């Protein structure tokens, strides 16, 4: 019996109602024991002439009316007992009604949570009302949405990683089988191709490891005031050979008297290098790439603008999604990189308290990648 009450919320509600009624009856009985005799003497005294001769010397109720008092006391106790019984019946009815309204939604939540634990992340519960139970149901649905998104992202990540690993592995396996069968003659070109594919695998593994660290916020940042011009100059020096190879001109456009920013020099240089490298890669030979910086309130906005192939509008919201490609037919070898550089850049910028975005007028109209950093006070 005790275990039943411990394991059922409805039983606990019923016990709480009964406990309140019992406490009320006990308090009322004790109060009546003290107050009823005095009240009886007072009212009888007023009825029979101001109490003259109604009291005995010791102040107790006279013997002549003791029977009347006993009958009154019995009637009062009977009425109190009937009231307690009626209150008990009401407690049972109310506990049944309220327990259904409270326990039923909780049982639904319990069943839904068990189904979610079994992998059914599309499970939802009906949220009605604005009370605590309604808020709990709403929070449960939000949690289920997040879990479903995480599960979708996990499956997508596994599929994307499998695809990205399969491409270089297939090339390596094909070359090695050709060498073993004698179909492909051994030579520097074959070895160089195998080496390139193995290098692509190594870069992909490194990028995935870095992505896992930034997603888990396991990065350690050395944040201190930095000059924006220093970040831009470092990036230009790194990418100047790549730009010169395509006869692309790198320009800088920095607003005068820019304040310092709070940032990790290595990480923000990594972001700026990634954006500029992409701009150089997707800009036709002889084009221009501009790195700009301007103050906007308490932030510095850095942007990289190119006049390259541009990005269709429908792809803009997905640019920073891992492994996302605007051109599905473009290979990683021709497209460059593992496809998660922008995702890593997004996490790094957000870890600095900034935001990153992209703008493009469409195909053939170039694009602008920009991010913000807080000004150092």
Q: What digits encode the pLDDT tens for the residues 87-143? A: 778 777 777 777 777 777 778 888 888 888 888 888 888 877 677 778 888 888 888
- Quick check: 339 and 332 in contact, CB under 8 A? yes
* Residue 220 burial (10 A CB sphere; 0-12, 13-18, 19+): exposed
pLDDT at 230 > cutoff 90: yes
- The answer to whether the Cα torsion of 219, 224, 225, 226 is positive or negative is negative
More confident residue, 376 or 164: 376
Beta bridge partners of 369: 304, 358
DSSP three-state, residue 158: helix
Average pLDDT of every residue of the chain: 80
What angle do helix axes 265-281 and 228-245 make, rounded to 10 degrees? Answer: 30
- Band of residue 279 on the pLDDT scale cut at 50, 70, 90: very high
Residues 259 and 308: their CA atoms lie apart, in Å, by 31
Beta bridge partners of 368: 305, 359
132, containing H or E segment: helix 132-181
DSSP three-state, residue 189: helix
Most confident of 172-181, 268-277, 336-345: 268-277
- Band of residue 316 on the pLDDT scale cut at 50, 70, 90: confident
Residue 292, pLDDT score: 94
Encoding tokens for residue 299?
A: 């932030």
Cα angle 55, 58, 61 (rounded to 5 degrees) comes to 40
DSSP tag of 376: P
- Quick check: 248 and 286 in contact, CB under 8 A? yes
pLDDT at 330 > cutoff 60: no
- Band of residue 336 on the pLDDT scale cut at 50, 70, 90: very low
- Band of residue 52 on the pLDDT scale cut at 50, 70, 90: very low
Mean pLDDT of the 209-219 span: 77
């Amino acid at each position: 019996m005790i275990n039943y009450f411990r394991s059922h919320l409805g039983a606990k509600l019923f016990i709480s109602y009964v406990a309140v009624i019992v406490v009320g009856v006990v308090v009322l009985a004790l109060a009546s024991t003290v107050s009823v005799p005095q009240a009886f003497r007072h009212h009888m005294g007023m009825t029979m002439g101001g109490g003259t001769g109604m009291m005995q010397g010791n102040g107790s109720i006279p013997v002549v009316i003791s029977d009347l008092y006993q009958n009154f006391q019995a009637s009062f106790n009977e009425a109190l007992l009937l009231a307690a019984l009626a209150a008990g019946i009401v407690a049972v009815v109310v506990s049944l009604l309220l327990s259904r309204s409270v326990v039923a939604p909780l049982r639904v939540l319990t069943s839904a949570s068990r189904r979610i634990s079994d992998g059914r992340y599309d499970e939802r519960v009906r949220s009605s009302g604005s009370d605590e139970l309604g808020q709990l149901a709403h929070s449960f649905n939000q949690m289920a949405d997040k879990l479903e998104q995480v599960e979708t992202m996990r499956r997508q990540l596994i599929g994307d990683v499998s695809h990205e690993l399969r491409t270089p592995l297939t090339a390596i396996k094909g070359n090695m089988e050709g060498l073993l069968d004698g179909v492909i003659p051994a030579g520097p070109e074959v070895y160089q191709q195998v080496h390139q594919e193995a290098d692509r695998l190594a870069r992909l593994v490194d990028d995935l490891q870095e992505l896992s660290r930034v997603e888990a916020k396991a990065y350690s940042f050395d944040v201190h005031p930095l000059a924006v011009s220093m970040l831009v100059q470092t990036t230009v020096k790194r990418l100047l050979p790549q730009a010169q190879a395509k006869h692309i001109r790198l320009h800088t456009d920095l607003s005068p008297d820019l304040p310092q920013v709070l940032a990790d020099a290595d990480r923000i240089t990594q972001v700026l290098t990634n954006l500029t490298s992409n701009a150089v890669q997707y800009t036709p030979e002889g084009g221009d790439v501009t790195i700009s910086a301007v103050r906007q309130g308490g932030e510095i906005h850095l942007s990289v603008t190119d006049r390259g192939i541009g990005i269709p509008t429908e792809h803009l919201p997905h640019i920073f999604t891992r492994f996302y490609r605007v051109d599905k037919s473009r290979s990683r070898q021709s497209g460059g990189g593992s496809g998660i550089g922008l995702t890593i850049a997004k996490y790094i910028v957000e870890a600095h308290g900034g935001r990153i975005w992209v703008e493009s007028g469409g195909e053939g109209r170039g694009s602008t990648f920009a991010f913000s950093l807080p000004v150092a006070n």
